[in-house]
Chain A
Amino acid sequence: FLVPLFSGREAETTQRGFEHIRRMKSQRMITRRTCSSVTAPRITTHYTIRPRDKDPRWEGVEMERFADQADVVIVGGGPAGLSAAIRLKQLANEHQKELRVCLVEKAPQMGAHTLSGACLEPSALTELFPDWKERGAPLNTPVTEDVFNIFTKNHRIPVPILPGLPMQNHGNYLVRLGNFVRWLGEQAEELGVELYPGYAAAEVLFHEDGSVKGVATNDVGIAKDGSPKDVFERGMELHAKVTLFGEGCHGHLAKQLYKQFNLRENCEPQTYAIGLKELWMIDEKKWKPGRTEHSVGWPLDRHTYGGSFLYHLNEGEPLVALGFVVGLDYTNPYLSPFREFQRWKHHPFVAATLEGGQRIAYGARALNEGGFQSIPKLTFPGGLLIGCSPGFMNVPKIKGTHTAMKSGILAAEAIFPKVTAEEADSETAGLHVPEYAESLKSSWVWKELHSVRNIRPSFHNPLGLYGGMIYTGIFYWILRGKEPWTLKHRGLDAHQLKPAKECTPIEYPKPDGKISFDLLSSVALSGTNHEGDQPPHLTLKDDSVPVARNLAVYDGPEQRFCPAGVYEYVPVETGDGMRLQINAQNCVHCKTCDIKDPSQNINWVVPEGGGGPAYNGM
């Protein structure tokens, strides 16, 4: 039985050989189980679903973790996390206090997982660094022209951007947010923040009294089948008086914290969109630095929320950043945001800019659309939520960076007196800082989000997009959002999909290889990669649900909404039927699958730190 399964090489009788044989054997058994059309194939091997304490392969493995103590630990090195870290160190220097601030970030370098349009409102930056220009902040492209169109298949209807409308961008800058984040990282390091890119926070740690104690970074050296490799090492524990969670849109630790501390009991569920983006080097003759274009309409129908952006950057070369956003409350499971993006580029107005150009980057990320109604409780014993994680995006402005930074600044200002106090003024071991939420509520962030709160939900009316625009015109432009009512969102994005049999498949055009492209060559451009021999980090609570429900009822929408080709339904090797294949290495950490899975069966957890996309100035 053993002989035919192994080649001569594996049949060494060294200790290593036996280990190898044991691993090969379990891999073969997994493959055989996958082939069987009788039992559900085992897809998920991650320890969050298959615990290690009962697993015989983990017997006798050293699970003790090295621990270190900081004053403040920040999870996530995006605009919010870095602003909080910087503000804390500025305050520490001002008051001549010692403060150990540690920031962990899963990307291999600061900015490598950052993706955004982006049109930055410099308000929060100016608060953080009034001298940002002298410091060399990469805000090189002031907006010079603001264009807004409603697209039809072949034409466009220009919409005037009157002063006072949220899409007005005078005074703002077009930035490559990844470069901005990298610059923020440099400022943070100069101020003495300990930055640790390449290390993902994988677990929240708790004191005995239930307050947050800190985080633990990811374990390394676990094989694809969930067993320990020779190079296995436990992650490290970082303990802090207070932990800031700034994981960005739909963070995986935040998801846990919502449940643990019941932070969402008084707010609406968050609603999301997926944003796909490319960078193009265009023909110099077509380059208009500072020009900002937005569109709504084609190729989306009036009941599918979404639109596009196209920004002409001014950094010495004819570079444009363009992208497409699709609201994740779409109902047709045959919709593919990636393919909508690719076909949008063929609109005559857009193709004219891109003709003769070259695509140099691609990426995607989910973004928040819930706004004011979806802000959860922001503080809990031992920690607080900042940035796009709780979600402060101004949806009609399509800007969330300035509010994220402001939330980081306010968090730092609220916790500083508490972490530097001689006596800990807290009932729990982990500090509770409700002052942060209070200061946020009396800040411009709250006013801003309150004034635009009804624009996104106004989209849900019989006229769809046009109804939303009419509502915006009347209630925002004229009345500045002062209407006394607050519209509700539709509910969880995952529950909006209609069964496949009630919907029509969409005929997407084939990519032409010049303006539009196929998925896999796009994913290659994101530079994404993960250590191959690790458990897939797209974990399923129940391995049988994808085929039994997602495929059966919704025709496997994950094949279409994943912008990286992670999910594929392939025929089983023997017998009839399909199975879900998870190409975890392709993942670009956008979080769309965790959001849109109609069965809410997919739980995205963080893979080994350092993996994921390698965005450069996205």
Chain B
Amino acid sequence: MSGRVLVGVKRVIDYAVKIRVKPDHSGVVTDGVKHSMNPFCEIAVEEAVKLKEKKLMKEVVVVSCGPQQSQETIRTALAMGADRGIHVEVSGKDYETLGPLQVSKILAALAKKEDAQLIILGKQAIDDDCNQTGQMTAALLDWPQGTFASEVSLEKDGIKVVREIDGGLETIKISTPAVLTADLRLNTPRYATLPNIMKAKKKKIANVKPADLGVDLTSRLEVLRVDEPPQRQAGMKVETVDDLVSKLKDAGKV
């Protein structure tokens, strides 16, 4: 057993920033906008580091796919306790069309290459809200998946995962190797403090190209247009029920 955990992290626009659609409607403005690690990815990193601290896993390898700036995100994960990083360089047009299918192919290839025992990802990214990468990666590797995990415990005969589902909580047991995706209540991520950021500068980040992993980045999807949601119309206050009915009649609703 390698005892190696692979954690995927994504650099996304910070959740508090107001998004603006580009004037040509091809996407959103990202230039100079504040970015940070996807909150669910932070939770994934924290879980992996906790497993290492409990001596249940030996090494945490953090991966990010993206342009040069993704290295900052990897550096933050290293400061949280990951051992080394892998930056899969994807930039320009390729980065604009990068989606869960290509990322899961990359992660599957890396999992084989690094002989990973466990893959932990965030359940979804806050920019595209796809919620697909973990599931696709598991399918490509033919590994079991424990998604929306709010509790993970490694046991002798497998991993017990408590999942947050619509009906409540579901507890499953899966065998290893496996893919887990982190949900909000899994843990509270630690801060990347300055001494750890300084130490992280000495940790290794390997550079890999998708072609080296035999992954084809062509997208099966084409984004036709991006628009802002329609402006919410102001409501109207009415005094009586008769008033309401007459207003509805005027608007042709009844």
Give A contacts to B, CB under 8 Å. Answer: 66, 68, 104, 108-109, 111-112, 178-179, 182, 196, 199, 217, 220-221, 229-231, 233, 235-236, 281, 317, 360, 524-525, 527-529, 614, 616-617
Contact = CB atoms under 8 A, between A and B. Distances in A.
Given A108-B36, A281-B23, A317-B23, A231 B191 contact: yes
Interface string B165-192: 0000000000000000000000011110
Main secondary structure of the interface of B (DSSP, over half): loop
Contact of A614 (B34, B188, B191, B193): B34
Contacts of B197: 196, 199
B16 A528 contact: yes
Contacts of B20: 360
B195 interface: yes
Given A231-B188, A525-B18, A614-B17, A236 B34 contact: no
Nearest to A232: B191
B195 A614 contact: no
Given A220-B193, A617-B32, A230 B18 contact: no
Nearest to B189: A231
Given A233-B190, A236-B195, A614-B14, A179 B34 contact: no
Contacts of A109: 34
Given A236-B193, A614-B33, A616-B34, A529 B16 contact: yes
B34 to A, nearest CB: 4
A182 B32 CA distance: 9
B194 A217 contact: yes
A111 B18 CA distance: 17
Contacts of B56: none
A217 B194 CA distance: 8
B198 interface: yes
Main secondary structure of the interface of A (DSSP, over half): mixed
Interface residues of B toward A: which range?
20 to 34
B34 A231 contact: no
15 contacts: A66-B195, A68-B198, A182-B32, A196-B197, A199-B194, A199-B197, A221-B191, A231-B189, A233-B193, A235-B194, A527-B16, A527-B17, A527-B18, A614-B17, A616-B33
A-B pairs, top 4 by smallest CB distance, nearest first, are: A529-B16, A614-B34, A220-B191, A527-B17
Nearest to B188: A231
Nearest to A616: B32
A104 B18 CA distance: 26
Contacts of A108: 14, 34, 36
B238 to A, nearest CB: 22
A229 B15 CA distance: 23
A233 B193 CA distance: 8
Given A220-B193, A231-B189, A235-B193, 14 more contacts: A68-B195, A104-B194, A109-B34, A199-B194, A199-B197, A230-B188, A231-B191, A233-B193, A236-B194, A236-B195, A317-B23, A529-B14, A616-B32, A616-B33
Contacts of B195: 66, 68, 236
Contacts of B188: 229-231
Contacts of A112: 34
A68 B198 CA distance: 10
Contacts of A617: 32
Contacts of B194: 104, 196, 199, 217, 235-236
Contacts of A528: 16
Interface in B1-57: 14-18, 20, 23, 31-34, 36
A614 B16 contact: yes
A56 to B, nearest CB: 23
Contacts of A66: 195
Contacts of A229: 188
Nearest to B16: A529
A599 to B, nearest CB: 31
Nearest to B19: A527
Given A68-B198, A196-B194, A220-B191, A179 B32 contact: yes
Contacts of B17: 527, 614
A66 B194 CA distance: 9
B39 to A, nearest CB: 12
Contacts of A233: 190-191, 193
**Which has the most chain B C-beta neighbours within 10 Å: A66, A111, A281, A617?**
A66
Nearest to A216: B194
A199 to B, nearest CB: 5
Nearest to B34: A614
Interface string B190-212: 11011101100000000000000
Nearest to B198: A68
A74 to B, nearest CB: 15
A614 B31 CA distance: 13
Contacts of B33: 614, 616
Contacts of B36: 108
A103 to B, nearest CB: 12
A258 B190 CA distance: 35
Contacts of A614: 14, 16-17, 33-34
A517 to B, nearest CB: 13
A231 B189 CA distance: 8
B25 to A, nearest CB: 14
A524 B15 CA distance: 12
Contacts of A529: 14-16
A104 B194 CA distance: 10
A414 B151 CA distance: 58
Contacts of A236: 193-195
Nearest to A194: B198
B190 A231 contact: yes
Nearest to B14: A614
A235 B193 CA distance: 7
Nearest to B69: A109
A182 B34 CA distance: 12
Interface in B193-240: 193-195, 197-198
A235 B192 CA distance: 11
A68 B199 CA distance: 12
B190 A527 contact: no
Nearest to B231: A513
**Which has the most chain A C-beta neighbours within 10 Å: B18, B20, B33?**
B18
Nearest to A609: B194
A583 to B, nearest CB: 14
A233 to B, nearest CB: 5
Nearest to A608: B191
Contacts of A360: 20
A229 B189 CA distance: 12
A609 to B, nearest CB: 9
Contacts of A525: 18
Nearest to A236: B194
